[in-house]
Amino acid sequence: MGRARAPAVRDFPRALRRGALPGGECPARGRRGRDRADRVRLRLPPRRGPGLAAAICRGPAQGLRRPRDQDDHARQPGPLPRHPRVSTRVPAGHDDPSVTYKRDGSVGLITIDRPPVNAYDERLHWELDQCWQRAAADDDARVVVLQAEGPHFCAGADVSGGGRRAPEGATLRPPWEELTFIRNLMKPTIAAVHGGCVGGGQRLVFPCDLIFCSEDAFFLDPLASMGIGGIQAPLHVWLYGERVAKEMLYAGERVPAARLCAMGSVNRLYPPERLHAETLAFARHVAEVDPGALRQAKRAVNTTLDIMGQHYIVNRFAELLDDMPSPRLPPSAPG
């Protein structure tokens, strides 16, 4: 009996002989054993609840595919699942925020506005985190856009000595926790970048799903000249690739958004006067897509990136921040 079955078993690829057969059945181990085998092969963390690997092995899941004869426009998008509620209570005495959140229809808009160049300090750090939490908790916002006012998107950290402290009683999360929170937000996120995106300002853009830029936008990291080499390096490698990341860090020169768009690191370029309108129009278009399908698509891409090492990069960024030396300002710098 065993000899008669052996040739058929050997005909299967190695991965399938380990338990996952086409069509989703796993006679040797059952569904639980099959999911565990996939996690071992892909080196994924232990599954809590139905994960992506299980969904892939099961094949088309209930509710993920509609009947072929059903009209696309006849299907009403389902509600977004409620995100865990996070307190966004503003401490007493806090007014005139540098970051605001509002919703335009089904699009959440986070706007940075700290003249003259949107340099971030502790207070802006806290305000931005609060706005991302509000966007996550807003069930009516299906897409979130991060944008800025003024001539530049963000000039990086405020090293002039005039930075503001977070309000008394505010809780600040470490930057890598913010990155993870935004990156794992189960809504599409878009960064609309104009002018300069400098130094640490690039980490505001890194976790967003898409990056739209104005034609005059540029990215710059001058930290090496300030005596802080490599703090953003893990993020730069993921955004721009090894060669461009090293060029940016070594030379401290501007990298035009047009060059990054040609490389695929930036999604779209628009004239400066049309950037915000075009980004909003695109966000509204995406907001019409079924939110469940968007969540599945984002989760699938993020899982692939995790397998490729993006989670390790964020952790490495945390280690570099912990070891960060004090900046050595150029003689002409204020402060």
Alpha-carbon distance of 95 to 114, in angstroms, equals: 13
| 80 — pLDDT class (breaks 50, 70, 90) | very low
Residues 6-52 have pLDDT tens digits of: 444 444 444 434 444 444 444 444 445 444 444 444 444 444 444 43
Closest CA to 180 of 315, 309, 51, 307: 315
Which residue stretches of the chain are H helix? 2-10, 14-17, 30-42, 52-58, 122-137, 175-183, 202-205, 233-240, 242-251, 257-263, 275-287, 291-308, 310-322
For the domain with range 99-292+306-322, which CATH number is right: 3.40.50.1970, 3.30.70.260, 1.10.10.10, 3.90.226.10? Answer: 3.90.226.10
Closest CA to 201 of 216, 221, 225, 179: 221
Assessment of whether the complete model's pTM goes beyond 0.75: no
- Per-residue tokens: 309: 């090492």
Does pLDDT of 141 surpass 50?
yes
Instruction: State how far the alpha carbon of 213 is from the alpha carbons of 119, 193, 261, in Å.
Output: 19, 5, 9
Average the pLDDT over 245-259 and give the result: 94
- Per-residue tokens: 195: 């002018």
**Residue 24 pLDDT:** 44
| 316 — pLDDT class (breaks 50, 70, 90) | low
Q: Which of 88-92, 120-124, 258-262, 270-274 shows the lowest mean pLDDT across its residues?
A: 88-92
Q: Where do the domains of the chain lie?
A: 19-62, 99-292+306-322
Q: Which of 39-48, 71-80, 122-131 shows the lowest mean pLDDT across its residues?
A: 71-80
Q: How many C-beta atoms lie closer than 10 Å to residue 256's C-beta? A: 16
**Residue 95 pLDDT:** 64
**Residue 173 pLDDT:** 87
Does pLDDT of 319 surpass 90?
no
